[in-house]
Amino acid sequence: MDPVPGEDDAVAPVRQMPLGIVIARILIVSGMGFAAAFAIFFLVGALWLLALISIAVTIVFLILMFAIERGAEGKAGEPPRL
């Protein structure tokens, strides 16, 4: 006889992310997208210095994303501090 789905399944705990981390993720992804788009735009226009600056800003946003994700791993599921 087949078991009823859901009876023996372990329920994974829901991880609650702090609002600051969610906002930081949104801002970082948006900033990285705009910087990369400007880099492509400047490369097509042969504006090399501006393209290099935009690529550097994109890399900074990428590093920030990794830093935020590493910090988010430790903060997920913690109760908010007052």
Q: How many domains does the chain have?
A: 1
The answer to whether 70 and 6 are in contact (CB under 8 A) is no
pTM exceeds 0.75 for this model? no
The answer to the question of residue 49 being in a domain is: yes
The reply to whether 18 falls in a domain is: no
Helix count and strand count (H, E) for the chain: 2, 0
pLDDT at 34: 93
Structure tokens at 30: 């948006």
State the residue range of the domain holding 60.
35-72
Average pLDDT over every residue of 68-80: 68
Report, as an integer, the average pLDDT of 3-17.
64
Task: For residue 44, tell me if it sits in a domain.
Answer: yes
Confidence of residue 47 (pLDDT cuts 50, 70, 90): confident
Question: Percentage of the chain surpassing pLDDT 70?
Answer: 71
Instruction: With respect to residue 82, please indicate whether it lies within any of the assigned structural domains.
Output: no
Residue 11 lies in a domain: no
Assess if residue 66 is contained within a domain.
yes
Q: Is residue 61 part of a domain?
A: yes
